[in-house]
Amino acid sequence: MTEYEHVDEDVRAITEDSELPQRLREQVYETVDDRGGVTAEQADEIVQAVESRYLDTRVDPLDPVGTVSAQSIGEPGTQMTMNTFHYAGVAEIDVTQGLPRLIELVDARKTPDTPMMTVHLEDEYAVDRERAHEVVWSIEATKILALGDVSTNVADMLVQIDLNEGTLLERWPTIDDVEEIAARIAETIEDALGVETRRTGTVIEFGPSEPSYRELLQLVEELREVVFKGIEDISRVVIRKEQLDDGEEEFVLYTEGSAFGDVLEIEGVDASRTTCNNIHEIYRNLGVEAAREAIINETMDTLEEQGLDDVNVRHLMLVSDIMTNRGTIESIGRHGISGSKESVLARAAFEVTVNHLLDAAIHGERDRLDGVIENVIVGKPVSIGTGDVDLRMGSFSPTQPSD
C-alpha cells in the first residue's frame, strides 16, 4: 500500500469502508493528498459522492449487455475506413487495419491477412546492435539471391552460384570459416533439390542428371525457394530502436509473416514479451487466457488506430470472453457462436432460416423460449430488463389500515 502524506487514518478508514474498488480508492487518496488533506466530514462526503457515481455506472441486473456491446462497437465501426492498407506507425511493415482487420478478428480467421510479430530481445541482445542482428538472421528466411549471384550456363547444362563472402560471414556470425559455410549451403542444396553439387571455394555448381533445358530452368526456380537460414514463413525483419518507459533504449524486431512458436525458442528472444497478431498462434502457444487478452488488445488497437478510442474496453472484453468461453477460439457468426445457439428460432432468425427449421423438425427439437429473439418471434415479452420481472399492482387507500 502506498503511503500518502496528507491522508490520515480517518480518511483511510472511511474510504476502506465504502464499496469502491481498490483502484478508485487509490485515486481518492491521490486526489485528497494533492489537495493537502481534508477533514473526516469532507472525506465522508467525497467518498459518498464517488461511491454513488460508481454505483450508477454499474450494469443493472437484467441489462442486455450483449446488445449494448453490439451497438457500441457497431456504430463506431460504420466510421471506419473500408480499406486502409497503409504502413502502420511501426516501421515499414504493411498491416491490415480498420474494418477488414476488425472483421478478421471477430471471424477468428485461421491466418490474418498480414501476419506480423513484435519480437522483444533479452539482455545484451536488446542493447547491442550486432547481437540483435544475430537474432534477425536466425529469424529472417535467407534465400539464395541474398547470398550471391546465380547464373545458368546453358552450354554445359550447369547452374552456377557465386557466393558473396562478406554476406556469408555476416549471416553466419558464429562461423568464421567461409569454406565451412559454403559447404553447408551446398549440403542444403543437395538435400532440397536432390542433385549432386561441386564446390570450389565459394562457387557451387550443379546441373540436372540428364541434359535437359527444361529441367535446368526448373532447378533454378526451385533453388530460389530454398531457405538456407531462418524461418520460412518470415520474409522480412525490421529492426528498430525504441525507448522504454524508464528512459532506456532497446532494439525491437518487427517481422513480416509469423511463426510464434518457433521464434519463442530462439536464443536471445524475450519469450515473456514477444507477441504476434495471429490470435490462433497465441492460443496454440500460450493458451486460451492469453488468446482472450490478445483479442482485447488487437480489437482495441484497431479501434484506436482509427481514432475510435472512446469505445469502452468492457464491450471488447465481453466479445473476447464469449469467443474464448468454450476453451478454444470461436468466431462470432454462422460457424461459431450464433450457429451453435441452443434455440432453434434464434438460429433460424440469424441466417439460412429454412435449413434450420427443417433440421429442427426432422430431429424433433424443442425451443424453450428463453432468449430474446425467440420471444420477439412468438410475440411474448422478452426476458430482459422489466420484461423479466413480474409486478402485480394492488390498491389500498392510505386512510384504511391495510391488513
Partner 1 sequence: MVDVSQHKLVPEHILLDDPEEIEEVLEEYNVSKTNLPKIRTKDSALPEGAEPGDVVKIVRESRTTDRAVVYRLVIE
Binding site for partner 1 (CB under 8 A): 21-23, 264-265, 271-273, 275, 282, 284-290, 293-294, 296, 313-314, 317, 321, 324-328
Q: Could you give the CA distance from residue 366 to residue 358 in angstroms, rounded to a whole number? A: 13
Shortest spacing between CB 305 and partner 1, in angstroms: 18
Cβ partners under 8 Å of residue 283, min gap 6 = 290, 291, 328, 329
Shortest spacing between CB 370 and partner 1, in angstroms: 14
Residue closer to partner 1, measured from CB, 271 or 360: 271
Shortest spacing between CB 275 and partner 1, in angstroms: 7
Q: Sign of the C-alpha dihedral, residues 108, 109, 113, 114?
A: positive
Torsion of CA 38, 44, 47, 53, to 10 degrees: -130
Q: Do residues 171 and 257 make contact, with C-beta atoms less than 8 angstroms apart? A: no
Residue closer to partner 1, measured from CB, 192 or 317: 317
Cβ partners under 8 Å of residue 7, min gap 6 = 29, 32, 33, 37
Residue closer to partner 1, measured from CB, 177 or 370: 370
C-alpha cell at 162: 557465386
Residue closer to partner 1, measured from CB, 228 or 260: 260
Shortest spacing between CB 153 and partner 1, in angstroms: 47
Residue closer to partner 1, measured from CB, 1 or 354: 1
Letter for the amino acid at 203? V
Note every long-range contact of 86-92, with CB atoms under 8 Å and residues 24 or more positions apart, other chains counting: 88/305, 90/118, 90/240, 90/254, 91/238, 91/240, 91/254, 92/238
Shortest spacing between CB 189 and partner 1, in angstroms: 32
Residue closer to partner 1, measured from CB, 142 or 274: 274
Of all helices (H) and strands (E), which one includes residue 371? none
Residue closer to partner 1, measured from CB, 115 or 207: 115
Shortest spacing between CB 286 and partner 1, in angstroms: 5
Residue closer to partner 1, measured from CB, 153 or 312: 312
CB atoms within 10 A of CB 256: 20
Shortest spacing between CB 299 and partner 1, in angstroms: 13
Partners of 150 in the beta sheet? 161
Burial of 303 per CB tally in 10 Å (0-12, 13-18, 19+): buried
Shortest spacing between CB 327 and partner 1, in angstroms: 4
Query: In 20-164, where does DSSP find H-type helix?
Result: 22-34, 40-57, 65-78, 98-106, 123-127, 129-139, 144-147
C-alpha cell at 62: 437484467
